[in-house]
Amino acid sequence: MTIPTILLTGATGFIGGATLARLLQSGPPCRILLLVRGETASVAASRVRQSLRRFVDLARLESALDSCQVIPGDLTDPDSLAAIPLNEVTHVLHLASNTSFRSVRGVRHTNILGTLSLAHRLRRAPRLQRFLHVSTAYLCGDDPPRIVHEDDYPRPKLRHLVEYTNSKAECEMLLWNTAPELPLIIARPSVVIGHTRLGCGPSASIFWFYRTVDMLRRTTFPLESFDDAIPVDYAAEALLFLLLKPELQYRCYHISAGESSSVTWHEIAATFARCHGERPENPYRQVDFQTIRNERDRLQPLLGSGDEDHLLMALQLYYRFGEIAVEIFDNRRLLAEGMPSAPRFTSYLPLCVNTSAQRSVYQQMLDDE
């Protein structure tokens, strides 16, 4: 039986690095093609190794890395895409993305133009069995219902808080409309935070916000609301599951905590309290963001010194996401395929706390730059 040839983009990102590490450690025998930004193959390969080092001891992967072919280049560069051996690719896992909350032009260039360029080139791949495009569950706009199902979105003319989610929604619609013959499957992760074994060692992406909320004791949303978060290793496992399972019932899946594994902010606060101790003299308060801004004199005593203006700008965006009505992304499709439920965020949150102790909030914010 011929082994699959997997084209993976985004291997240097948080989810991409975790996914490649899992594929090399426990995936099936396969050949792996990695499209990675870099002026030369050696520069691109060095970036891949740096990403993998966050998740695994590279000495244990030397033989597995021999199965990888690094293709230096960019999604929007025709010469880079021309270097992909189309006749050999059987599976594509497209993770490369610009996740910036501040950029507009760069986000659209990568997330829409780059994705469509790759997809339309792969339409001609004679052995292609699956093109798994990784989107986001938050393409539901700024006024969704409490529980979101896969077929509810995307929709045209929705309002979005940031161009990142807007670009993902637009890209999905363009893929369905312009490449109908592509064996396309969509995966939409919810909030991806930490790692069940490594905590925030690989990346403190997004966790810095939860840490800040706990230290400030201020929310702009009810503590009774649920938060749908998953660890990066679960996201990686689910992506490979969807990529390689021979038959799937649907064409779009949430990779999320769902109703069974989502946790309330009360539970998150209680878990932080078990790590740091109760602080009855400083209870949580639900306020508007202007109150947080007016209380900026609390930032340095609680968080240490840093770029307060940058922090407040980032916090405003994350608090606004917390205020969106959606609490749960329905994951019954994924579970019905045979994927186990995600671990609850509170089960590994203490590990995230412990692996964050040596870095300030300001330092952790850089993981989302």
The token pair at 36 is 């990675």
Distance (Å, whole) CA 58 – CA 53: 6
Do 212 and 314 form a contact (C-beta atoms < 8 A)? Answer: no
pLDDT greater than 80 at residue 287: yes
pLDDT greater than 70 at residue 217: yes
pLDDT of 234-270, one tens digit each?
A: 999 999 999 999 999 999 999 999 999 999 999 999 9
DSSP state of 195: B
pLDDT value, residue 282: 87
pLDDT value, residue 276: 93
pLDDT value, residue 104: 75
Would strands 5-9 and 31-36 be described as parallel, antiparallel, or unpaired? parallel
Would strands 252-255 and 68-72 be described as parallel, antiparallel, or unpaired? unpaired
Mean pLDDT (the chain, rounded): 95
DSSP SS3 for 218:
strand
pLDDT value, residue 124: 85
Rounded to an integer, the average pLDDT of 35-52 is: 93
Write down the H helix ranges in 27-162: 41-52, 62-65, 78-82, 105-108, 115-122
Q: Position 14: which residue type?
A: F
Residue with tokens 């993998």: 52
Distance (Å, whole) CA 333 – CA 149: 9
Distance (Å, whole) CA 146 – CA 324: 9
pLDDT greater than 70 at residue 1: no
Domains assigned to the chain: 5-189 (3.40.50.720), 207-227+263-325+344-368 (no CATH)
